Amino acid sequence: MQIEQSVTMAGEASYPDVSPLVGMIADEICVSMQLRLDFHSGVLNDLPPTYVAFTRCRFVDRGDREHDVNIERDPESAGPVLSVVHHKVAVASVEKWELRLEFDNGSRLLCAPD
């Protein structure tokens, strides 16, 4: 998992501060060798780019159905994550290096460290 902008895990002795993601809008999802969620704050010419990238996660959709997402094994498993496009991050936290993002549509993304 990678978190870019002012939030990074590299070289951190403590859990990263992911609070800048709260209020940001997921505006693009790309799938290649990883799943990448790109965010913006809703401001025109929003800089710098902010994204979260990972290969595996648990995704809980707004109907409380759990989905195991593993891009390396099955890229199609990313399908349910598309439901967060155009939605804001309501809660962003890290506990025991697990990233947790909750969106305003009720969906949750849980990424264990890898």
Range of the domain at 91: 2-111
Mean pLDDT within 16-44: 88
Segment among 10-24, 30-44, 85-99, 100-114 with least mean pLDDT: 10-24
Q: How confident is the model over 47-103, as pLDDT tens digits?
A: 677 899 999 999 999 999 999 999 999 999 999 999 999 999 999 999 888 999 999
- For residues 25 and 38, is the Cβ–Cβ distance under 8 A? no
Q: How many helices (H) and strands (E) does the chain have?
A: 0, 9
Q: For the chain, how many structural domains are there in total?
A: 1
The Cα angle at residue 95 between residues 94 and 100, in degrees rounded to 5: 45
Q: How far is residue 99's CA from residue 104's CA, in Å, rounded to a whole number?
A: 17
Q: Read off the pLDDT band of 39 (50, 70, 90).
A: very high
pLDDT of residue 44: 60
Residue written as tokens 């895990």? Answer: 9
| Amino acid identity at 51 | Y
Nearest by Cα to 4 from 99, 77, 88: 99
